[in-house]
Amino acid sequence: MKGLEVDANNFAFLDSLVELAREKHIFTVGIGDNGNELGCGIILHEVQKIQPWGKVCQCPCQSEIASSTEVDILLMAAVSNWGAYGINTLLAYLLNNIELMHTERMEEKMLEVCVKTGCVDGDLDIPFPSVDGISLESQKAIITLLRETVIRAMKTHP
């Protein structure tokens, strides 16, 4: 997201998977926060205009951070992970199943694995157990808040 080079060994190339799904008329959803995420191609020109590295990145390739991959529905969030947690929260509520939700422990384990495999925090640009510069403790607090909201909603609106 900072327009810096990402080692191809630490990058998930999922664009072709999304393109294949779209070719097969499989509904696709993207979640973004900065314009470099899968699906942000449906707002490509806006990303190129708004983001500092939207058109030309800082690495030798001189490409762009803007994703050109399009999806059927794009959800933008302050932090893309939080957008995913929001969708997860809604599904857990609608299906009346709290077990569908992400947990604090799952978040901690996920970030541990990310760090161990060399994935970097998009804001800090180093392998660190945080998301977009936001601490693990804050990530877990968001998850707790969402879980408690669903539990309360399921009790008051069965």
Residue type, 21: A
Task: Provide block-wise average pLDDT over 10 residues at a time, the chain (158 residues).
Answer: 59 83 96 86 84 64 72 95 96 96 95 91 88 96 97 92
According to the model, what pLDDT value does residue 55 have?
61
Q: From 98, 111, 104, 95, select the one nearest 149 (Cα to Cα).
A: 98
Predicted confidence at residue 95, as pLDDT, reads 97
How far is residue 71's CA from residue 69's CA, in Å, rounded to a whole number? 7
How many CB atoms are closer than 10 A to CB 19?
13
What pTM value is reported for the model? 0.84
Residue 51's pLDDT is 78
